Amino acid sequence: MSHFLKALIVDAATGFYRIRRYPLGDFFGPVDLGLHLSGKYNSLNIGAGLLAGSIFPGSNRLIFTGFSPSWGGFYISSMGGAGLVFDNLGINLISIIGKSPNPAVMVLNRKHGEEIELDMDPVNEELIWQKDGVYSMMQRVHEAYKDRYENDPRILAVGPAAKYSDIGGIVSVPIKDSKLSHIDTWAGRGGFGSKLFQQHGICAIIYGGTHIDEDFRDRKVADEWFQTRYEQKMVAKDMEATQKYRFDPKVDTGGTFGVNFNNNAERLLAFNYRSIYWQDSERKAFHQKHIREHYLKQFNTETIIPKKQQTCGEPCVAVCKKYEGIYKKDYEPYQSLGPLCGIFDQRAAEKLCHKADSLGFDAISVGGFVAWLLDCLDSGKILKEELGVDDLPRWDAANFHTVNDSMHNADLGCALLDNMIGPSPGIDLREGARKYARRLSRAKQDAIMDSFVFNSFGRRGWMVPNQYWTPGVLSPMPAMGRYYMYYGDQYVSPRYLGKVNADRMKTELMLDNLGVCRFHRAWAEEMLPEIIRELFGLHKEFELNCHITARRINCRNASVFWESERSIDYVHQALLKMACQQNDDDLRHWLMRFAEDKKAAAFDFWYEIRKGIDESLQEL
């Protein structure tokens, strides 16, 4: 039996669409098919994996691909749970080309196997955003179109950041019994909200349907596959694999927020990475006082103990979405808009995170940028008048008041975010933070970019790294900000690091191409090729496809050497810390090189990583 991927090609300029079929084997999912369509149309592609709607846990992520406005190269972003409703459209992917003449809502519906209904309805986006940004957009769209759907639909929405910056994200929430949840899920990294609005003129997409296809639902057969490999049934193995995200009894907390903040005392990233220059004892003492005894304690008391946890919208034992009131608590947003900005109190972090979210920003990227602005204000390199704010941050780590200083810094951060939005923003991010910082440095004739930590791609591309203090997050990979690299804290030589990065990229691409959540990777990485073999008989083609797709993405790799001194120091200080814990001749060699000439050593270190990447992703 032949299998096909069905793609809905939509011209936003006219509302016309057509369905194209692509043989399974030539393509396997929204990543490799999205790569093909992006090269052909410069489209924004939104799709679910082959296993969406199936019995396999974590298989309903919605995958977004295209050429990123902020990064510049081909990029992949994903959103939890939103693929489950997408599967009811009876297609695998939407590819959006063209631009609507007016800001619009795209309405997609499919009833009982009939043809897909598609409307492009104009909307006054600025008026809707005035209330609560992306959240008011979702509410307005739901009120206007919910009666068209027999089952609860799903909504994708963007906020003002999509119009006025290159790092606008796309947000969605599960809808149950015609009520919008407060558990927001994001495709934030890569700025695809900016692409959706600026290049296609779309503010929101509502979709749903009643189409029924042949999803794999045989639990008995799935259990047999898992028993053969793990001597456990599927649910039991998944419970074990997702323990960290639910509750980890070893550390008496759970979720990405709880586990990572519990474990990062020695690797604390705070005050725009100034903490990398502290002694271990200083980081531990600060962490104990301001995080363990306050920030983390608040989270455990308010969220973990009362078990305030939900899923992203699909049946899943991980229940990884931890929350307090309307605020969802994930590690990286509450790290980059928390300690990185000098905020160590939940109320203050909630205020700044919600502000960034309601405006529709990628929280991690805007957090790294705001932290740099606060650093420049604190050091006097930028005057408060130049940024349109009335105060300076309170960044005295030695005398830091956990609650008062955190809220002060959050208020200042909110003012900075407001100044990034509008037709004539005081902080202009329409061409990206890297270009903004470069222009400001030239105008002031000062190396103020030296404290801005980011990955560079091409001439304008930038990406704030994942919030882990390890050289891997600043690797010259073709798509940074994702976990397409090694972010462990054990030293590996730079050449080998490139190889490990490439291997990690191929594995993560496999998960993304099948729409499977990486929180289930402890079994998914091993089982997915077997599942493809059992269901489609194409496991060899599938495994080869992962390498070919990674290679094709890497062929466009325009990564640029670290442009700021603090980025170099980030790597250097990480190596120094590793040397305290590992006895490695290669590590000692590199530290001698850094001691002799830091920039020259960093340049060679960076290129060694790149060599390892390119060697691993050669033509087979």
pLDDT of amino acid 213: 81
Query: What is the rounded distance in angstroms from the CA atom of residue 187 to the CA atom of residue 53?
Result: 20
- Counting every residue, how long is the chain? 620
Strand ranges of the sheet holding 170-172, from the earlier edge strand across to the other edge: 117-122, 104-110, 202-209, 154-157, 170-172, 185-187
Mean pLDDT value across residues 74-95: 97
User: How does pLDDT run across 347-364, given as a tens digit for each residue?
Assistant: 999 999 999 999 999 999
Residue pair 534/510 in contact (Cβ under 8 Å)? The answer is: no
| Residues in CB range of 553: below 8 A, 6 or more apart | 35, 73, 74, 478, 479
pLDDT of amino acid 373: 98
Most distant CA atoms of the chain, gap in Å: 70
Query: What is the rounded distance in angstroms from the CA atom of residue 318 to the CA atom of residue 389?
Result: 42
Half-sphere exposure of 265 (CA within 13 A, CB side): 16
Query: What is the rounded distance in angstroms from the CA atom of residue 244 to the CA atom of residue 318?
Result: 8
User: How does pLDDT run across 216-263, given as a tens digit for each residue?
Assistant: 999 999 999 999 999 999 999 999 999 999 999 999 999 999 999 999
Q: Which CATH class is domain 4-210?
A: alpha beta
User: How does pLDDT run across 473-523, given as a tens digit for each residue?
Assistant: 999 999 999 999 999 999 999 999 999 999 999 999 999 999 999 999 999
Token digits for 620?
């087979």
pLDDT of amino acid 99: 98
What whole-number percentage of the chain has pLDDT above 90? 97
What whole-number percentage of the chain has pLDDT above 70? 100
For residue 207, give the H/E element and its range.
strand 202-209
583 phi, psi to nearest 5 deg: -105, 100
pLDDT of amino acid 212: 79
Residue pair 208/112 in contact (Cβ under 8 Å)? The answer is: no
User: How does pLDDT run across 390-402, given as a tens digit for each residue?
Assistant: 999 999 999 999 9
Mean pLDDT value across residues 2-18: 96
Query: Is the pLDDT score of 582 beyond 90?
Result: yes
Token digits for 309?
């946890």
Residue pair 98/74 in contact (Cβ under 8 Å)? The answer is: no
Query: For 208-212, 329-333, 429-433, which range has the lowest pLDDT when averaged over its residues?
Result: 208-212
The angle at the Cα of 331, spanning 81 to 602, to the nearest 5 degrees, equals 115
pTM as predicted:
0.98
Strand partners, 555: none
| 234 exposure class (CB count in 10 Å sphere: 0-12, 13-18, 19+) | buried
Question: pLDDT tier at 619 (50, 70, 90 boundaries)?
Answer: confident
| Residues in CB range of 135: below 8 A, 6 or more apart | 184, 358
Q: What is the mean pLDDT of the chain?
A: 97
pLDDT of amino acid 229: 96
Which one-letter amino acid corresponds to residue 345? D
Which single residue is written with the structure tokens 């910056």? 165
Mean pLDDT value across residues 404-417: 98
Strand 559-560 to strand 455-457: parallel, antiparallel, or no bridges (unpaired)? antiparallel
Mean pLDDT value across residues 559-565: 98
User: What is the helix, strand, coil percentage profile of the chain, to 5?
Assistant: 50, 15, 35
Strands (DSSP E) found in 422-517: 455-457, 461-463
pLDDT of amino acid 214: 82
**Where along the chain do its domains lie?**
4-210, 242-452, 470-620
Query: Is the pLDDT score of 1 beyond 60?
Result: no
Token digits for 380?
């006097």
Fold of 242-452: 1.10.569
Query: What is the rounded distance in angstroms from the CA atom of residue 191 to the CA atom of residue 164?
Result: 11
Residue pair 220/122 in contact (Cβ under 8 Å)? The answer is: no
Q: Could you tell me how far CA 250 lies from the centroid of its own chain? A: 27
Query: Is the pLDDT score of 128 beyond 70?
Result: yes
Query: What is the rounded distance in angstroms from the CA atom of residue 460 to the CA atom of residue 462?
Result: 7
Query: What is the rounded distance in angstroms from the CA atom of residue 365 to the CA atom of residue 166?
Result: 10
183: left (phi over 0), alpha (psi -120 to 50) or beta: beta
58 phi, psi to nearest 5 deg: 75, 15
